Chains A and B, each alone.
Chain A
Amino acid sequence: MAALLEVEDLRKAFGGLVAVNNVSLAVSAGEVLGLIGPNGSGKTTLLNLIAGTIRPDAGKIRMAGEDVTRLPNHLRVRRRINRTFQLVRAPPNMPAIGTVMAGVLYGAGARVRFKDAGYEAAGWLGEMNVLTKADRRFDQLTYIEQKRVELARALATRPRVLLLDEWLSGLSSSELEGGMSVVWSLAAQGIAVILVEHVMTAVRALCHRVIVMNAGSKIAEGRPEAVLRDAEVIRAYLGDDDA
């Protein structure tokens, strides 16, 4: 299967600190790729580079064969790459449906009239099970509701590659189960998902493949069972922080 998103030797340094050091990866449609590693290992920076939130120093990003390395954030959204943020982000004072509508209107989907965008946005909120909160201000929602609204915002732009930055973290066990089934159904619809996650249950259950990062570099890649076993070994030798 040809890869949908290809990343080649991506590199980003902040001053003297190399946050992402020549990382390559590929993910194909319908695949869930896990990205794990200790805090500060460069996972979120890598996501930022792929989404276009920041620019890489070197390397290439190809989306469906097209080089998108130099494209700004909003044009990558239209090339169907989208993401959620580690610390949930949405306009706090707007009704929850507002950003989702903006996603419908400005995303990669077919052009809709302003009047109809509300219906389509309501559809996405419904899919995420938060339709009843549509006219509630974003900052009045609970944490899990905010996460679901944010995902609805991302989905409304019709992504083919979706980057989830710790989207499953901080949830109760029942919420986690619901969240995992959401991610599962996204992959089943043919979306390529890159999952940055600390919750190992989710990584084990969801990911087809896992990449382990440490200090900006890729140190392991493979099937979750195998990689996580290796990670256990690393933990045993170097302590919890390096696993």
Chain B
Amino acid sequence: MADTQEDKRRRRNRAAAAIGSLAVLVAALATVPWLLSDYGLALMINVMCYLVLTIAWALFSGTTRLVSLATSAFFGVGMYTVAMSIKVLPLYAAFVLAIGVGAALALVVGVLTLRLSGMFFVIFSFGLSEMIRELMVWWEINQTHTMGRYVFVPFDTTMIYEHLLGLAVLVFLAGWQLRRSRLGLALLVIGEDETVARQVGINVPFAKVAIFIVSAMFMTLAGALMAPRFGFINPNFAFNPLVSFVVVIMALLGGLQKLWGPVLGVIPLIILSEKLQTQFPFWYSVFLGLVFMVIVYFLPRGVTGLLEDAWEALGRPLELPRGLTGPLLDAWAFLSRPIYLPRGIAGAIEERWLKIMPRASEKR
């Protein structure tokens, strides 16, 4: 069996169109610093930073289904490595060092923990970032007698933004390539059934550690690039555990089925938390927590799923009142439904799209 000329030509055209539109998009995004206000640029830097973190998180967790809360550990390690080495190293050398430290940490953690399954891995990854944070606090107080570090370098917000944009393109390409590779397929099989993965000849621990390291390197570099943005860094700030949780929520809101799913999760949540932080600074964390709960519990298919359900409910005939127990029973049935891996906004869009344009195989 071989491709026909027609197939080949069509595939080449599609690839060219995809690369072309991506190039145009990236070029447009690269001009943002000259178009937006300082506030707008700051917002875009946040978007780019979380985009890198979320896609990098999805590289590992979306395929292996191991929920990692170690994002803040790698992000913080990147930031802190730059803060500690900036006085003796040139900026780019500090970035490279940060990637190296992140990769080494990921290797050690991966080898030690990736045999853990499910919940145990979640807890461990969370404990890891908290442990590193406490260690750094202890080190800074007792050994170096500093409460934090200054990062003053000629690396302004425009430079930070452009570098983050480049990194976002790289992580996107890595994810795109992963979906077309042996390793990507192996990770999908591992995510669904490890026993079967071993039985087709996949070296399960090796594959997991490999993707964990790749994912960690992107997170670390994102942290390193963000270090000059803040100027003053202390351990509690660099290893803020909230980063890990926000990244998970963004990925779940966007949906993990599609590579661009996280984009749809990052943008609304960044805007939302920006609004919350400016309008209700004291209630910010409470609101954010509520938003998380609402998403995970009530919007397993993302915001679009909610709208779809509402639309369907409008078409249904009214039901007669059944007293107080009716709604309570409904609520119970709803709450006790199993929660599936959210397909997010991307999943909803895909469903719509398939209704309009059925796949060739389904037409027959």
Q: Give me the interface of A with B, judged by CB distance under 8 Å.
A: 51, 53, 72-74, 77-78, 82-83, 85, 89-94, 98-99, 101-103, 105-108, 114, 119, 122, 135, 153-154, 156-157
When the two chains form their complex, are residues A99 and B196 in contact, meaning their CB atoms are under 8 A apart? Answer: yes
Q: List B contacts of A103 (CB < 8 A).
A: 200-201
Q: Is B197 an interface residue (CB 8 A)?
A: yes
Q: List B contacts of A77 (CB < 8 A).
A: 198-201
Q: Which of B181, B182, B191, B199: most chain A CB closer than 10 A?
A: B199
Q: Is B35 an interface residue (CB 8 A)?
A: no
Smallest CB gap from A90: residue in B: B196
A110 to chain B, nearest CB (A): 13
When the two chains form their complex, are residues A98 and B188 in contact, meaning their CB atoms are under 8 A apart? Answer: yes
When the two chains form their complex, are residues A99 and B181 in contact, meaning their CB atoms are under 8 A apart? Answer: no
When the two chains form their complex, are residues A92 and B192 in contact, meaning their CB atoms are under 8 A apart? Answer: yes
Report the Cα distance A108→B202, complex, angstroms.
Answer: 11
Smallest CB gap from A113: residue in B: B182
When the two chains form their complex, are residues B188 and A83 in contact, meaning their CB atoms are under 8 A apart? Answer: no
Q: List B contacts of A108 (CB < 8 A).
A: 201
When the two chains form their complex, are residues B202 and A106 in contact, meaning their CB atoms are under 8 A apart? Answer: yes
Q: List A contacts of B131 (CB < 8 A).
A: none
Question: Which residues of B171-215 have CB atoms within 8 Å of chain A's CB atoms?
Answer: 180-182, 185-186, 188-189, 191-193, 195-204
Report the Cα distance A93→B195, complex, angstroms.
Answer: 15
| Chain B residues within 8 Å of chain A by Cβ, number | 22
Q: Is B318 an interface residue (CB 8 A)?
A: no
For this complex, 15 residue pairs linking A to B, each with C-beta atoms less than 8 Å apart, are A53-B199, A72-B198, A73-B198, A74-B199, A74-B201, A74-B203, A78-B201, A83-B199, A89-B195, A90-B193, A91-B189, A92-B192, A94-B192, A98-B185, A102-B200
Report the Cα distance A82→B189, complex, angstroms.
Answer: 17
Report the Cα distance A114→B195, complex, angstroms.
Answer: 22
B335 to chain A, nearest CB (A): 24
Report the Cα distance A103→B200, complex, angstroms.
Answer: 5
Main DSSP-derived SS at the B contact region: helix
Main DSSP-derived SS at the A contact region: helix
When the two chains form their complex, are residues B188 and A94 in contact, meaning their CB atoms are under 8 A apart? Answer: yes
Q: Is B1 an interface residue (CB 8 A)?
A: yes
When the two chains form their complex, are residues A89 and B201 in contact, meaning their CB atoms are under 8 A apart? Answer: no
B359 to chain A, nearest CB (A): 9
Report the Cα distance A99→B192, complex, angstroms.
Answer: 11
Q: List B contacts of A114 (CB < 8 A).
A: 180-182, 185
A42 to chain B, nearest CB (A): 20
Smallest CB gap from B180: residue in A: A114
Q: List B contacts of A92 (CB < 8 A).
A: 192-193
When the two chains form their complex, are residues B361 and A135 in contact, meaning their CB atoms are under 8 A apart? Answer: yes
Q: List B contacts of A53 (CB < 8 A).
A: 195, 198-199
B235 to chain A, nearest CB (A): 40
Given A114-B181, A114-B182, A122-B1, are A98 and B199 also a contact pair (CB < 8 Å)?
A: no
Report the Cα distance A108→B195, complex, angstroms.
Answer: 18
When the two chains form their complex, are residues B182 and A157 in contact, meaning their CB atoms are under 8 A apart? Answer: no
Q: List B contacts of A85 (CB < 8 A).
A: 195, 199
Q: List A contacts of B196 (CB < 8 A).
A: 89-91, 99, 153
> Contacting B200 at CB < 8 Å: which of A72, A93, A99, A119?
A99
Q: Which of A90, A102, A107: most chain B CB closer than 10 A?
A: A102
> Contacting B182 at CB < 8 Å: which of A78, A105, A135, A156?
A105
Given A90-B196, A92-B192, A101-B185, are A107 and B1 also a contact pair (CB < 8 Å)?
A: no
Report the Cα distance A156→B182, complex, angstroms.
Answer: 15
Smallest CB gap from A93: residue in B: B192
Smallest CB gap from B2: residue in A: A119
Given A51-B199, A94-B188, A94-B189, are A74 and B204 also a contact pair (CB < 8 Å)?
A: yes
A120 to chain B, nearest CB (A): 10
When the two chains form their complex, are residues B192 and A91 in contact, meaning their CB atoms are under 8 A apart? Answer: yes
Q: List B contacts of A73 (CB < 8 A).
A: 198-199
Given A102-B185, A102-B189, A119-B1, are A153 and B195 also a contact pair (CB < 8 Å)?
A: no
Q: Which of B1, B180, B181, B204: most chain A CB closer than 10 A?
A: B1
Q: List B contacts of A102 (CB < 8 A).
A: 185-186, 189, 197, 200, 202
Q: List B contacts of A83 (CB < 8 A).
A: 199
Q: List B contacts of A154 (CB < 8 A).
A: 199
B339 to chain A, nearest CB (A): 15
